[in-house]
């Protein structure tokens, strides 16, 4: 297959390749980058393509491998792929609360609110907070699973309203 024919066939498959890139990345700009990488690799290695084989499958394999290799590179480097607007906060080494004393006061306030809970809500909530699964809490307290879920939900709802009232911005 000559270069002109290869370019024409690549162009006919470009819409499919862009859709496949978006399916892999789930991000428009990352999909564009992956498409460009695939195009570069395909044209660089077009001499390796055998004319009697499936070009669509060959290009899809190149794209999939480029995606996997890029993912593995990011894993090795420890980079976090983040598309949020709060990117600068994730990568900064600073704390959201600069004074640890403030954090300690908030922590104490929260546990004071937990102490305000009724005993039938407090015990399942604290067990869930400590990492127990709902099934484990249900077995330990000999209470039906649905009741445990309901009580933990009620405790969270109570704490949320208390926090909103206490720390409401006027």
pLDDT tens digits along 104-147: 556 777 888 888 888 899 999 999 988 889 999 999 999 999 99
- The 10s digit of each residue's pLDDT in 59-94 is 999 999 999 998 888 777 765 555 555 555 555 555
User: In the predicted model, what is the mean pLDDT of residues 4-20?
Assistant: 94
Tally of CB atoms within 10 A around 157: 11
Q: How many domains does the chain have?
A: 2
Using CA atoms, how far apart are residues 158 and 116, in angstroms rounded to an integer? Answer: 10
Integer Cα distance of 119 and 123 in angstroms: 6
Mean pLDDT value across the chain: 84
Residues 38 and 83 in one domain: yes
Expressed as residue numbers, the domain containing 135 is 100-166
Question: Within this chain, do residues 124 and 76 fall inside the same structural domain, yes or no?
Answer: no
Residue 56's nearest CA partner among 104, 13, 23 is 13
Q: Does one domain contain both 81 and 155? A: no
Radius of gyration over every alpha carbon of the chain, rounded to an integer in angstroms: 27
> For the domain that residue 145 is a member of, what is the CATH number?
1.10.10.10
Mark which of 57, 88, 119 sits at the end of a domain: 88
Q: Are residues 43 and 114 in the same domain?
A: no
Entry pTM? 0.46
């Amino acid at each position: 297959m000559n270069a002109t024919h290869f370019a024409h066939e690549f162009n006919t498959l470009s819409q499919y390749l862009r859709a496949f890139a978006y399916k892999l990345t789930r991000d428009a700009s990352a999909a564009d980058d992956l498409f460009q990488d695939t195009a570069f690799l395909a044209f660089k290695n077009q001499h390796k393509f055998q004319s009697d084989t499936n070009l669509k499958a060959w290009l899809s394999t190149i794209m999939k491998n480029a995606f996997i290799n890029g993912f593995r590179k990011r894993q090795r480097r420890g980079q976090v792929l983040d598309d949020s607007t709060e990117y600068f906060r994730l990568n900064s080494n600073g704390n959201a609360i600069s004074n640890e004393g403030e954090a300690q006061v908030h922590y104490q306030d929260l546990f004071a609110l937990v102490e305000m809970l009724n005993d039938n809500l407090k015990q399942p909530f604290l067990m869930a907070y400590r990492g127990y699964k709902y099934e484990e809490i249900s077995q330990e307290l000999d209470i039906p699973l649905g009741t445990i879920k309901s009580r933990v939900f009620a405790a969270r709802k109570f704490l949320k309203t208390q926090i909103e009232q206490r720390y409401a911005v006027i």
